[in-house]
Copies of this chain bind each other. A is one copy, B any other.
């Protein structure tokens, strides 16, 4: 009989957000009158900006006429988008990234999930803890994680706790690791690293032959000076890091699907005989073989975000969410919560009251305030006792959720 990939059997039964959705649905069924406000999954609520809408209508029209019809596009993305990214996301910040180092895709979840295809199963993986579940789960699938341990962690993964105790700055690993996932501004804690703090990681990777997988899906939410938007702002990073970006949160593309991954040509790993191999070439081969390019319509929409109007409009949406985040920080503090993040990211991370465990607090908040968040423990063992709320709902709903929380807990 043909065999399945056994590693899948090591995974917890359900993906975190599926479990959250399941509990909300069960509560809703038992309490059909409840008006649940969702501050859980990081999905946006503001419609796409007019510049993107206009560009996508035009792209749909392109597909309606033989003279402008676009069939298969380049697997790596259209030049019009790769060049706009190179110019606005990098050159404008003093970073030189060539268009052929940029790979457009259907989103950062796909890319952070698939990147392991080009890396050896024997690499030792480090993640911050708590962490976006995709990093760990995809390494479990690939056989890099080892055996599941009590508490939801895995035997071969090196966990780097980020908690209130260390100010949410991960310590460098004590044992040798090969692949390090860093997400900054951070999901789920909403905290950021300064240039100096990130430089310590680039230097560590260079000194130890490690690869940094840098997820900067939330860079548009950075408000403070001194917080890098790209890891390539750090000298030497092109030799040690892959960067993942997304239009999902920056421009509301969660349903439209578009993101990109930067794989610098200077970045090299070694094969089993120690020969250097360029990762740009490998990722290009992977994408040409297993992917056929992002939708032309989505790419046109994404390119419109780089026009002057598109940038202004997208920025307005980000500002709106960040105003929600500011309100959440102040109101939650008023209610007596210890809160973190929310200054350079659309996530607020709070300590559960009285040391309550994360899922118990999830159930309590859902039951008593009809507010749905995400349990910190779902992001990793060190997330236990924490809880994530997102700033992506409407101002009205966010206000109402905070009113309920303040009236219950203050």
Contacts and interface: CB of A to CB of B under 8 A. Distances in A.
B57 A291 contact: no
A64 interface: yes
B8 A290 contact: no
Contact of A45 (B61, B71, B179, B255): B71
A257 to B, nearest CB: 5
9 contacts: A2-B209, A4-B119, A6-B272, A46-B69, A106-B294, A114-B114, A255-B295, A257-B295, A297-B298
A109 B120 CA distance: 23
Q: Which of A46, A178, A269, A289 has the most CB of B within 10 A?
A: A289
Given A254-B72, A293-B257, A178 B2 contact: yes
A307 interface: no
A37 to B, nearest CB: 15
A281 to B, nearest CB: 9
A364 interface: no
Q: Which of A11, A141, A210 has the most CB of B within 10 A?
A: A141
A179 B257 CA distance: 32
Interface stretch (A48-56, A165-173, A230-238): A48-56
Nearest to A258: B295
A120 B53 CA distance: 43
A388 B63 CA distance: 27
Interface residues of A, number: 83
A64 B54 CA distance: 10
Contacts of A64: 47-48, 50, 53
Interface string A246-278: 000000101111000000000001111010010
A69 B45 contact: yes
Contact of A2 (B8, B43, B179, B272): B179
Interface in A68-95: 69-73
A83 to B, nearest CB: 19
3 A-B pairs closest in CB distance: A113-B290, A1-B209, A3-B120
Interface of A: 1-6, 8-9, 11, 15, 18, 41, 43-48, 50, 53, 56-57, 60-61, 63-66, 69-73, 106-107, 109-110, 113-114, 117-123, 133-134, 137-138, 141, 178-179, 209-211, 252, 254-257, 269-272, 274, 277, 279, 282, 285-286, 288-298, 394
Given A41-B72, A255-B296, A289-B138, A5 B50 contact: no
Given A257-B294, A295-B257, A1 B71 contact: no
Contacts of A50: 64
B4 A277 contact: yes
Given A109-B290, A277-B4, A255 B123 contact: no
A106 B297 CA distance: 13
A269 B3 contact: yes
Nearest to A179: B2
Contacts of A286: 8, 141
Given A254-B71, A285-B15, A289-B137, A271 B6 contact: yes
Contact of A122 (B3, B118, B257): B3
